Amino acid sequence: MFVSIINSMLRITSSLYSLLTWLLRYFFGVPLQSLEPIRDWSGLTEEMLAEIAMRMPSVEDFMAFRGVCTSWRAAARLDKFVNSRSGSRVPFLMIAGQQENNDEYCELYSLSRRRIAMRLKLPEVKGKRCMEAGFGWLLTVASCSGEVNLLNPLTRSQIHLPNLPGSVDCIFILTAALSANPSTTCNFVLMAIRNAGQFLGYWKPGNLTWTPIKTSGRIFSDVAYYNGKFYVLDAIDELWVWDDVAVTHLHLDNIGHDLVFSAKEAYLVESSNGELLVVIRKSRDEFRVVRLDVRNCQWEEMTSLGKDAVFVGHSVSKSIVASAFPSGIKPNCIYFTEEGMQFRLCYELASAGRGGEDMELYNLIVSGRGGEDDMGVYNLGDGNIDRFRGITSVSNFICPPVWISF
């Protein structure tokens, strides 16, 4: 019976058998001849199982390991595995479940394996708008009550935040970013942009309210935590920098209205070699990239991302070295998701001050399903787009697809 369970597990991930034997040989000194073939894995001690589980190279392998039997599940502590992870990882594409009446579930699509890798039961996100704020944590916002939480979808740990004031515009949190991992420290800051980009504010553990940052009526589009500071991009080519004491802004001449002001979307992202980039979506079929020249305080357009692949959308933007993940991850490419046609229209209504007047149009937008075919991979070298096919989200407005890394 146990062997059949093992074989079932090995069909889930073909590399797990060789990985287990390698770990046993090199970390526990088990002779190779005693590993081939292994007839009975039940002799592994709880300590050995826990150590093996901690060395799983991916979340998929770790979850497959936990699924073998109750003793393996008990040894494979999910919280310890998540907290021990470091370095860059290929993001999953998190999408709402495929069944209309079962919106307590989310699915994680694996780019490297080209399939749904995991299905997570998350009643905490039901009826809420979600985005990844970094380190695998989701920011969830209830549109009616304004309830805000940070949620780790793997461990289902939650951090309750102060409610947002208002009603309809509570949905319009454009983006948010964490300064540090809440799984490992209480000393973190959450920066958020909401109310059609008109509100920039932060929250720290222990604070009873959100703290607004005064910025002279600017409209903001994205935020990133970079080199120990929050960088916030506005709609007229300026960067605002907040260092936990004061906010300053940099006027950067060479980005210009031709790129950012007329952009469909613009995303801040740190490259693998530590440069701050802006990925600019000019249209449905065109992206541009610029980098910050810190010394001369200006932007420079880039014609190549080199070895990097970047991930942008309704989440904290990310970059990885594609060659470190050869299974299906392409260098010099932009992996993108659509933030939702409905969200963009609502954003425009709110920014024009028409959200309360056009409730009929608002309700039509909320009930629709848009942007589902606007996810894919853009090659910065030749401009070609390979769109994801057959990946849809039944709750595109409430919870559009997001990139999430564990």
> Which region among 6-20, 59-73, 257-271 has the lowest average model confidence (pLDDT)?
6-20
The pLDDT of residue 64 is 80
The more confidently predicted of residues 12 and 261 is 261
**Alpha-carbon distances of 21 from 8, 56, 62, 82, 113, rounded to whole Å:** 17, 12, 15, 23, 22
The more confidently predicted of residues 287 and 28 is 287
pLDDT bracket for residue 1 (50, 70, 90): very low
pLDDT at residue 7 above 80? no
The pLDDT of residue 343 is 46
**Alpha-carbon distances of 4 from 41, 45, 63, 82, 147, rounded to whole Å:** 11, 20, 18, 29, 46
Of all residues in the chain, what percent carry a pLDDT higher than 90? 30
Q: What pTM was computed for the model?
A: 0.81
Parts of the chain belonging to CATH 2.120.10: 92-404
pLDDT in tens, 206-254: 999 999 888 777 888 899 999 999 999 887 667 889 988 777 877 665 5
Across the range 8-31, mean pLDDT stands at 50
Q: How far apart are CA 320 and CA 115, in angstroms?
A: 20
Q: How far apart are CA 131 and CA 149, in angstroms?
A: 11
pLDDT bracket for residue 190 (50, 70, 90): very high
pLDDT at residue 169 above 70? no
Across the range 263-288, mean pLDDT stands at 89
Q: How far apart are CA 107 and CA 119, in angstroms?
A: 4
Residue 352 CB: number of other CB atoms within 10 A?
A: 11
pLDDT bracket for residue 4 (50, 70, 90): very low
The pLDDT of residue 361 is 42
pLDDT at residue 84 above 90? no
> Which region among 41-45, 154-158, 192-196, 246-250 has the lowest average model confidence (pLDDT)?
41-45
Q: How far apart are CA 33 and CA 16, in angstroms?
A: 18
Across the range 262-286, mean pLDDT stands at 88
> Which region among 38-52, 136-150, 265-279 has the lowest average model confidence (pLDDT)?
38-52
pLDDT in tens, 348-373: 444 454 444 444 444 444 444 444 56
The pLDDT of residue 100 is 52
The pLDDT of residue 159 is 97
pLDDT bracket for residue 342 (50, 70, 90): very low
Across the range 24-53, mean pLDDT stands at 63
pLDDT bracket for residue 69 (50, 70, 90): confident
pLDDT in tens, 290-335: 998 877 778 888 999 999 999 999 889 999 999 887 677 999 999 9
pLDDT at residue 341 above 80? no
102 in Cβ contact with 119 (< 8 Å): no
Report residue 320 as tokens. Answer: 């990885």
The pLDDT of residue 103 is 64
Average model confidence (pLDDT) across the chain: 77
The pLDDT of residue 102 is 56
The pLDDT of residue 276 is 94
pLDDT at residue 144 above 90? no
SS (H, E, C) the chain: CHHHHHHHHHHHCCCHHHHHHHHHHHHHCCCHHHHCCCCCHHHCCHHHHHHHHHCCCCHHHHHHHHCCCHHHHHHCCHHHHHHHCCCCCCCEEEEECCCCCCCCEEEEEECCCCEEEEEEECHHHCCEEEEEEECCEEEEEECCCCCEEEECCCCCCEEEECCCCCCHHHHCEEEEEECCCCCCCCCCCEEEEECCCCEEEEECCCCCCCEECCCCCCCEEEEEEECCEEEEEECCCEEEEECCCCEEEEECCCCHHHHHHCCCEEEEEECCCCCEEEEEEEECCEEEEEEEECCCCEEEEECCCCCEEEEECCECCEEEEHHHCCCCCCCCEEEECCCCHHHHHHHHHHHCCCCCCCHHHHHHHHHCCCCCCCCEEEECCCCCEEECCCCCCCCCCCCCCEEECC
CATH node for 92-404: 2.120.10
